[in-house]
Every structure is written in C-alpha cells, then in structure tokens.
Amino acid sequence: MASAALRAWPVDARDSLPLALWSARDIASATGGTASHDFQVSGVEMDSRDVRPGDLFVALIGEAMDGHKFIAKAFEKGAVAALVDRPVDFPHVLVEDTTKALHALAHAARDRADARRIGVTGSVGKTGVKEAIFAALDRSSRGAAHRSVRSYNNHVGVPLSLARMPARSRFGVFEMGMNHAGEIDVLTRHVLPHVAVITTIAPAHIENLGSMEAIADAKAEIFGGLEPGGAAIIPADSPHFEQLKEAAERLQAQVVSFGRATHADVRLLDAIPSANGGSLVTADLGDVRLCYSVAEPGEHWISNSLAVMAAVRAVGGDLGSAGLALAEMGGLKGRGARHSIEAPGGKALLIDESYNANPASMRATLRQLGHTPATRRVAVLGSMKELGDFSAGFHMQLAEPLCEAKVDHAILVGEEMRNLARELGKQGGILLGNPGSFAHCDTPVEAIEALEEFGIAAGDAILVKGSNSVGLGRLVAHFSGRDG
C-alpha cells in the first residue's frame, strides 16, 4: 500500500526546478554577463550590511555611493558571489551595468516562475495589506509564496524583490510606492501583476503631486502593468472610486471593489469589536458570505481585510487560510506593533506607528487610540512630511481627532508640528483631557526627555506616530528596550 501511495503522489512540474535561487550560469544568461566561477546562491542583496551567507551581492552604483567599495565586506559576511561591472578578486558575474543587470535578473525571475503576482499600492496600508496577503497565500500554498520584505517598494527595492523570487513560487506579492507621477508606472512594468490592489487614496506626497486627483492618477498607474484579463482591486468607499474604476476599465481590467458601499463587490456587512482588541467581520463576496476575525485593531484594518480577501480570491487562493492569517497577524515594527513596557505599578502599552504618517493615517490611529482601554492616553506625534503648501492646515486639523480620542497628553515633535501646538495653545490646551497638557519638541531626544518628565504610569496607552524621517523609532526603542 505504501508503494501504491508513492506512485499516486501528485506530479508537479515545479519539482523539477532547482532548489538554489540562482546558479552562475543562470545569472550570466539572464544578464548577458560572464561568470568567473561556477557557483550557486541562495539570496540576492544590495546592502553589504544585510548580506547573509549564500547571497549574491549586487554592487549597485548610486549618485553618492559605489557598491563595488563594499565587495570585500560583503564576502566577509558570507556572500558567495557578486554582480559587478569590473573584474574583482572574488567569484562574480561581470556585466556592463549592474542596475540594468539587476532589472534583467528580476525579469528572468518573474518569467521563470509560474506564480500569480499581486501588486499592492495605496496612500495608506500597503505594507500591512501586502503582509496579510502573503501570510494568507503562504499558508495555503505551504510555503510557496514570496513577497517583498520591509518596504522594498521603490525603483531598487521592487527589482530586488523580484530577483529574490524562487522558481518554485506559486504566488508573489509586491509593494509599490511613489513620490512622483510616473514612478509606479515603471515599477508595475517590472512586476506585470495579475492582480493590482489600491488600498486607499489619501494626501500623502501631495507636495509633489498637487491634488488628490493627481494622487489617484499616480496610484492608478499600477493598472498599466496588469497582465491581460487581470484584476484591479479598488476601494469602493473612496471619493475617487469612479476615477480609479475608469482608469482600470480603460485597460480592460476586471474591476473588483471593496468596502461598505452597497455597490462594493466585497462588501462589509458587519464588524463588531472582539475581545483581543481586533474585530469580528462579516463580508459578502456576492456568492458567498464570510465571517472571520481580524487581530489588528482599528477601522482601517476592517477595510484592509476586505482588500485582502478580494486579492486572495482573485488569484485563486484559499479564503479560509486568509481568515486564519488575519486572525493571527501581529503589528509590524513601526506600523502598529504593540509593546508592553514596564511602568511604576505595572505595565503600560506602547503602540509603535513610527514608520509613516499622513493626515488619513494620523486620524485613523488616533481614533483607535481613543478606543483603546487605558487609564491615560498619550500621543507622541511627529511631523507629517511631503505635504507642501497644505502642511500647516493638515497639522492644525489634528486638534480635532486628538480631542475626540480623549488624549490626556500630547508630545509634538518636529517643525511642522508647531502648527498643531499653536492650534492647541489657542484655548490653553483645553481641547485635551488636561488643560495645557501638551509639549513641543524639536528632536526625538527631546521627546524622550519630555515623556520621561511627564512620567509613564501603569495603565497608560502611548501612541508614537510620525513620518519615518522624524526618527521616532528611536523613542520606541528607548522605552521598549528593543533595537531601533
């Protein structure tokens, strides 16, 4: 019986593919380069500080740095080969241009893997949605899903993430970011996704783009790389829904909308708070209704979960696995991670949202802070960047959500936050729970001192949020005892 079972084991064409990520011959073939030795690599890296044993180190040349200067360090950390534009005394593949070679390697990885590819963009939530889609597909495919790590979502990160995709992958999930019009158009043509997800449209990078309509157009560029017959997953509740829908339909994409609106294809029917701080969600997908838990707290994660379900279904993934993944997800570093920290008399909660901030995400996280059980609520808010002429107004408008969240004390960090400080000061701080209970700081170091002076107590809930360049991750690391 055992031999019969073995003979009946399903045959998968992927089983004949190599286990190594790349061989010297494959890299040379993909890039048009010349290999100095015969070797195999298990990863691809462009930063010598992040090299792991078995990696191919790509010596990229930027405006201020030449990766060839770090080749020796890369090999000290375990690299087995390098992609270079000049001969070196290490195993390597020699090419004319390492950036073009990385792009060629990315395209070769994309074309050799029979994987369903998903591209994710949006003003808010793209990293979390990308991680949730990956978790769902990785569970159902038993480890055969791949995704871009961290926020590798730019002109270097997307090709690098593609080049890292194993030949045996069944699914690939790639995040795409932008600061200017035209950037996503380039990225989506690297990925050529079967499914393109836009999480939401909000005034991030409005300094560079000028209007919300222009932001929507820039995000809609992701549809330009869709494979024929691909799916465009868009937010039904957005004021820019029709604009996004028309952009997708012009490219003959299958439009799938998600949200609370009655016309949504993946429609929220009900959401109630669950015991762990998340939500119990019921959604209608047209021909089936789903009930699942979302571990992440906040209204925005209810919407995110609908986008996840739409994407998983569009690539033929398992919706049950998606529900389990959403129920088990924890907060990401800088994007909702929750730390229990020591405080006099017990524990306090530190919420790490230090990686990114724009007006929409600020309001969403402050709203969630207001729903978080706490003795006192403290908000450490860093400046929101790339808002241009809109910056002063958007910062002042945070006074209202601060008040609605019943924040007892606010520490405002950065030059742009002076606008909010002035707004709060107009009424002597009575917008907050305690009159005058706010402070302005120029740097994260000053913010650390201000929070220590205020004094963390047991039962406090402390939200830390700001644009990454403000550096509030340093404050999180200081109080949580974790590396920044």
Query: Could you read off the pLDDT of 272-282 as tens digits, one per residue?
Result: 988 767 899 99
Q: Look at residue 464 and tell me whether its pLDDT is greater than 90.
A: yes
pLDDT score for 2: 59
- pLDDT tens for each residue of 395-452: 999 999 998 999 999 999 999 999 999 988 876 554 555 545 899 999 999 999 999 9
Q: Would you mind telling me the total number of residues written for the chain in this entry?
A: 484
- pLDDT tens for each residue of 283-333: 999 999 999 999 988 888 999 999 999 999 999 999 999 999 999 987 777
- pLDDT tens for each residue of 61-90: 988 889 999 999 999 999 999 999 999 999
- pLDDT tens for each residue of 234-249: 999 999 999 999 999 9
Q: Look at residue 465 and tell me whether its pLDDT is greater than 80.
A: yes
C-alpha dihedral, 244 to 248 to 254 to 255, nearest 10°: 0
In the chain, % of residues over pLDDT 90: 76
Candidate from 206-210, 403-407, 453-457, 467-471 with smallest mean pLDDT: 206-210
- pLDDT tens for each residue of 111-122: 999 999 999 999
Domains and CATH numbers, the chain: 17-97 (3.40.1390.10), 113-328 (3.40.1190.10), 337-480 (3.90.190.20)
> What strands, in cross-sheet order, belong to the sheet with 438-441?
337-343, 346-353, 460-465, 376-382, 409-413, 438-441
Distances 135 to 146, 172, 310, 327 between C-alpha atoms, Å:
10, 11, 14, 11
pLDDT score for 18: 62
Q: Is 4 exposed, middle or buried (0-12, 13-18, 19+ CB in 10 A)?
A: exposed
pLDDT score for 204: 73
Confirm if 22 and 41 have CB atoms less than 8 A apart: yes
pLDDT score for 5: 61
Q: Look at residue 202 and tell me whether its pLDDT is greater than 60.
A: yes
Question: Once rounded to an integer, what is the mean pLDDT over residues 243-271?
Answer: 97
**Three-state helix/strand/coil letters over the chain:** CHHHHHHCCCCCHHHHCCCCCEEHHHHHHHHCCEECCCCEECEEECCHHHCCCCEEEECCECCCCEHHHHHHHHHHCCCCEEEECCCCCCCEEECCCHHHHHHHHHHHHHHHCCCEEEEEECCCCHHHHHHHHHHHHHHHCCCCEEECCCCCCCCCHHHHHHHCCCCCCCEEEEECCCCCCCHHHHHHHHHCCCEEEECCCCCCCHHHHCCHHHHHHHHHHHHHHCCCCCEEEEECCCCCHHHHHHHHHHCCCEEEEEECCCCCCEEEEEEEECCCCCEEEEEECCCCEEEEEECCCCHHHHHHHHHHHHHHHHCCCCHHHHHHHHHHCCCECCEEEEEEEEECCEEEEEEEECCCCCHHHHHHHHHHHHHCCCCEEEEEEECCCCCHHHHHHHHHCCHHHHHHCCCCEEEEECHHHHHHHHHHHCCCCCCCCCCCCEEEECCHHHHHHHHHHHCCCCCEEEEEECCHHHCCHHHHHHHHCCCC
User: How do beta strands 92-94 and 34-35 pair?
Assistant: antiparallel
Could you tell me the maximum CA-CA distance found in the chain, to the nearest angstrom? 82
Distances 339 to 103, 347, 380, 464 between C-alpha atoms, Å:
39, 10, 15, 11
Question: Once rounded to an integer, what is the mean pLDDT over residues 160-181?
Answer: 95
Q: Report which of 357, 355, 369, 437 is spatially closest to residue 401, judged by C-alpha positions.
A: 369
pTM score, two decimals? 0.81
